[in-house]
Each structure stands twice: as C-alpha cells, then as structure tokens.
Structure 1
C-alpha cells in the first residue's frame, strides 16, 4: 500500500475541539482548507495505487446486462472491480483506526477486512444460494490459512533464514480454528451417518453451535483484549510512514461509500455466478471457494507478505490466521443466525470433501506454527496444500 501524503499535525498544547481529528495530538486535516483536503484525500484514495486502474471495470460490471454481455463477462468485470475497492476499504479502515486506541483499531481492521466476504454471502443468502454462502466463507478461511499465510512465510523466509513470532497467540488461534473445524465436521458427519433424529436436526444443531461459537468468540475477544492482553503483545508497525489523510469523519464517509460500491458489485457478481460457471466450464463451487476469496483477500495477501518481508511475523500471522479465526467463529455463525431471522434455512453442513479440507488445513497450520518459528519451506508446504485442494475443487461436482 502506498504511503499516504498530506495532513498537518497540531502542536501539543493546541486547544482541541469536539471533532476527533482536531483533538490534541491528531492532525487538523482541514488546516489548508476544504479544497486542499478534497484534492489530497481523493488523490490518495483513487490515484496512488496502481491497482486502482481496475476500478474502471465498475461501470461495465453494473451495466453489462443492459449492454447484452454474457454472464461470464459480467461476473469477470464485477470480480475485477471489487479487488481495488476491497484494498481501499482496508486503507480507509486503517485511517479510521488511527483515531482510536490499539484495541479498537485492531478490531476495526479485523472486522472490515472481512466485509467483502460478508456482503457477497449476504446477497447469496438472500438469493437462496446456501451452498455458495458456505463455500465462499470456507474458501476465505482456506485462502487465509494456506495461500496468504503460505506466501508470507515463503517470501519472508527467502529474505530471513528463520523468522520468529508469538507462540501464545498462534497457539490460541490454532485452538479456536480446530474448534471451528469441529463445528463444521460434526453436522457433516451426522448427515453422512444418517443418524439424525428428525429431518431438521442438522439445522437445529447448526443454529445451536452458531450461538455457542459466538459466545466463544466474545470470550476470546475479552481474553485477548482484557484479561490476557500481555500474551498477545507483539511487534508493531513502527515504520512511521502512516500519515493522517482522511480525518475521522472523512474516513467514516469513505467507509460507507466504498461499502455501498462493494455491495452493488457483489450483487451483480452473485447473480452471475452460475452463468459464469457454465460459461467458463468450471464448477460454481470452484468459483465460490477459490476465485472469489482470492480477490476478496487481495489486500490482506499483500499486507501479510509486506510485513513478513519486514520480519514482522506477528503482524503477518495476525492478518492471515486472525482473519480466518474471525470468519470461522463470527462470520459463519452470523450468517446462519441471519438466515434464521430471514427465514432462510442455512446450516453448517458441508460436503465431505469440503469439511475435510477445513479440518486438514487447521491441523497443518497448527503443526507449522507450534514451534514459534518458520522458514520458507513451511510456506511452500502451505501454498502447495492450497494448490492441491484447489485442484480438488476444480473437479468437484
């Protein structure tokens, strides 16, 4: 991500106002006037990242059907357009987090880092595409655990012979991922055994487990941010190249605007998934598990690799494994409960191969991170595992 430019710090002792961006120690982003602020903020958001050139696909995605384009091309345009907006959403969240404490800032980054997956899943849920919801979230977890983390370990290991990180945080995340894997494996195993008491037993079990997982995730946040905060203290990004650009209220505005754009593109993409699968000659499950998550995790992927190259492995693991943990314990249960409220019977039952990939991936990551140090070969193992499971989904019916 290119460093932001602009902004002028308020000297200590200056009289603060009610606006968060003018509090003591924070910059007055409007010090040079509204015109300068708009020029600086729009320039930073739209023109400082080379990836932003892909935003030009947005109008084509939104009007592709009116132009008579096929579902395959419509889906591709929406997919391409979402990538830069997902990355810019990450940047805006970081700008907003600079006005909060470390605890709230970390939560903001973790939460909005998964907004793209959540929005896509909500539209798929509303359309009754329950399996697409399941595999999209599963794919995001697998992408973070194997591809994002694997690339970070690989490239970081090429530059640094051995890299170390906080074993306590890695162990806790691994335990939670195993719990999440069990919550997906149990309904699947029960369905395969045919031993359920009633036709809706799987659905009832899924809703009960979703509530329990939510409670565990809330307990984990309290554990991480309050009672055992010292266990999670790791490296910080102290490069000093992050500058205040958008301001508190400006960041909130852009957060909402970008989220709306992602929502519009997600609706187009979800509507075109099945047609795109037929057009491309691949299973729609491959698109849901592999293609969409790779695009949605593009910003996290780049950030994790950059931090690994800087030998900041706590941050790299926090991005990859932390995001997978949040999706498993928070986003998946939230979609099950949201479907319950909307009258959509979304459950946590997967196909046998899908549940196996989740369980095996959680075990592999736990094994690799248990020593508190990594190297490039372990990263290669994770990436290879991702390629293997992707090949399986390519021939999955």
Structure 2
C-alpha cells in the first residue's frame, strides 16, 4: 500500500520534471507491480461474488485496456511493427509466461491443481481458430496480393474475429452460464469477498487507469534502456512491452494460482490471450484505418510459428483440466527459448 501511494505521485512528478530515463524506468516498474496487487485483490473479490469467469474476464479486460491504449498511441506514431510485436508478445506472455508461472507457483504448494476442463476445451478450440486460422491464413493468402488487398483481407478477418468473440462471451456468460460448472466454482461461493462488487470494480478501474498512465510513460523510456542494454526493437515489442503492459494481470493470475483458485488463474491467462487475438488485435486494425499508416493483420513467420507452437503446447497441457509445477516449468522453458530466439534475431 505504501509503495502505491508513494510510487504514483513520484511517477507523475518524475515525468513532469523529466528525471533520468533509467531512474524513471525503475520507478514505473515498481509502481506497476504495486498497483497489480490491488488489481489482484479486486479480481479475487469479483471472482467470489460474480464467479471465476466474470472475475477473470474483467481482470483480463482491464489489463488489456492498458495495452490497447499504448498500442493506439504507437499506431498514431506509425510504429506498426512494434504494435504487431507487442501483440505477439501478449499471446506468448499469457500462454507461456503467465500460465507457466501460475502453474509453477501453484504447483509448488499443491501437488495437483484442477480447473474447469470444459472451459479448457472450449478455449482450446477458440485459441486454435484465432491463431492458427485467423493469423496464419492472412499471411498465406497475402503472398500474391498487393497492399490494398492485404488490408481488405485484414479488415474482413478482423470483423469476423470481433463478432465471434462477442458470440463466445454470449455463449459462456448467457446461454451456457453454469451449464459446465466445476467443483471449484461451487466451493468458492461459500467464501466472503474482501470487497463488494461495486468497490472491487471501482478499485480495478482506478488501478487500471493509473497503470495505463504509467505504462504509457514507461514506453518512452524503452529507447534509452534498449540502447543501454543493446536490445532490438523486435525484442522490446515482443518481450519487454508485452511483459510491462500486462504486468498487473500477470500478478493477479499467479496470486489466484497460489490460493488454488485455478479457474480464475486460467481464465485470466487464456481468456486474456483470446481477448488479445480476437478483440484487441482486430480493433487495432480497424482503428489504424483512421491513421496515416494502416496496420494489416500480417505477422512475420517467426512470430506466427512462435504463437502456433505456444497454442499447441497449451492445448496439450490444459485439456485434461489438471496441472502441476512441472507443466508450469515446461511452459516457462518454452518462453525462455523463444525469448532467446527473438533476442538474437
């Protein structure tokens, strides 16, 4: 609590007074971590009151709102490559880093952790569609297209992705809500939330706005930090921006796993990935039409192969509805391997 109340005003003051970039970089990172604890507590309260699906969905939504804001500013500046890289980084980060840390930390405390197997299988199908169909197909077909047709293809696919994502939410939260309920969800209904629904949403909203402001300023320090450490623009977009932009929801997922609330942890990690792939990315494509430089939904082959591999690994690991620390370590190892590859690329 103390770090939050000190970090936020110091971040604002440091930004206005133009303190050294490396000093601001450290302050911003620490403040975001402090704010993430509030987002975690708010998510836990919402998960108890409204259920793990809605709690995890709200956390993922507010968390991705930060990345969406940062990406819009980047698109306005014409940094299409950085935005695409950060989207790739979000998919890899959520599926491998967030889920991996959650499974690993939770698995150190509990030998076996269970989550809703029906949700896992439902999410697996959507993940394979969003990444392996909606992301790969444009790259394959665009090989024999000019720039105008590439953009038209991207816009068409973006509209379809948004509509299917809204349909998926309607399926999970309205028509089939409670149909595929796990034992874990029934147990959490007996718990007392720390905050009521209204206060939890308010805390989540305020924390997200603070994280968005600090994250936007943090992005401006990346160029100096990159030059200091010799990092490339691709590495910054896929690894650094993605980690910082989603730091709050990362911490929330790990906290839920440590408390053996795996339905919420999985909903944050996988639900956030689906939201990035099926909503955030297509929305950014449509928003880019209003800027000087439009963004087609076209990733490099290295990015596509990394995302497809991550999806396949997550599907294999999560489809049984159980996890342990070794499966978490496997996901983390895959993330480190890809991180090394993008660093050296």
TM over 0.5: yes
The partner residue of 1:189 within 117, 137, 140 is: 140
Gaps of 5+ in 2: none
Q: Distance in 1 between matches of 2:307 and 2:8?
A: 33
In 2: Cα distance, 1:97 partner to 1:377 partner: 27
- Residue in 1 aligned with 2:98? 148
Which structure 2 residues correspond to residues 344-355 of structure 1 after superposition, within 5 A? 344-355=293-304
Work out which of the residue numbers 36, 47, 65 in structure 2 matches 1:115. Answer: 65
Matched, 1:222 2:170: yes
Q: Does 1:58 align with 2:11?
A: yes
Match of 1:32 in 2: none
Matches within 5 A, 1:36-51: 46-47=1-2
Change (3 A) 1:271 1:160: closer
Structure 1 unaligned regions, length at least 5: 1-45
1:243 aligns with 2:194: yes
Give the equivalent residue in structure 1 for 2:256. Answer: 307
**Corresponding residue for residue 208 of structure 1:** 156
Q: Provide the residue aligned with 2:237 in structure 1.
A: 288
Q: 2-side partners of 1:307 and 1:268: how far apart?
A: 29
Aligned 8 A contact 1:61 1:268 in 2: no
Supply the distance in 1 between the matched residues of 2:115 and 2:52 (Cα, whole angstroms): 19
Indicate yes or no: 2:38 matched with 1:88. Answer: yes
Per-residue deviation, 1:170: 0.5
Is the contact between residue 215 and residue 245 of structure 2 (CA under 8 Å) also seen in structure 1?
no
RMSD, aligned CA: 3.0
Cα shift readout 1:255-308 (whole Å, capped 9, x = no counterpart): 665444334333323334334322321112222211232233333333333333
Q: Are the structure 2 counterparts of residues 231 and 169 from structure 1 closer, same or farther at C-alpha, using a change threshold of 3 Å?
A: farther
Q: Per-residue deviation at 1:104?
A: 5.8
| Residue pair 1:143, 1:294 contacting (<8 A) in 2 also | yes
Q: Structure 1 residues 385, 101: closer, same or farther in 2, change over 3 A?
A: closer
Q: Distance in 2 between matches of 1:258 and 1:154?
A: 27
Determine if the alignment matches structure 1 residue 276 to structure 2 residue 239: no
TM-score by length of 2: 0.85
- TM-score of the superposed pair, with normalisation by structure 1: 0.75
CA 1:253–1:149 in structure 2 vs 1: closer, same or farther (change >3 Å)? closer
Higher gyration radius (CA):
1
Alpha carbons 2:7, 2:27 under 8 Å: kept: no
1:178 counterpart (128, 143, 149): 128
Q: 1:94, CA displacement in angstroms?
A: 6.3
Alpha-carbon contact 2:93-2:243 (below 8 Å) kept: yes
CA distance in 2, matches of 1:363, 1:52: 42
Does structure 2 retain, via aligned residues, the 8 Å contact 1:79–1:292? no
Matched with 2:274 is: 325
Structure of higher RCO (CA pairs closer than 8 Å, 6+ residues apart): 2
Write the mapping of 1:25-36 to structure 2, written as runs, cut at 5 A.
Answer: none
Q: Note the C-alpha offset of 1:86.
A: 4.4
The alpha-carbon deviation at position 205 of structure 1 amounts to 1.2
Classify 1:370/1:278 alpha carbon distance in 2 versus 1 (closer, same or farther; 3 Å): same
My pick for the range that moved more, 279-288 or 336-345, is: 336-345
Alignment partners' CA distance in 2, 1:313 and 1:102 = 9
The 3-state SS of whatever aligns with 2:226 is helix
Question: Quick one: structure 1 residues 353 and 84, their matched pair in 2 at CA, closer, same or farther if it must change by over 3 Å?
Answer: same
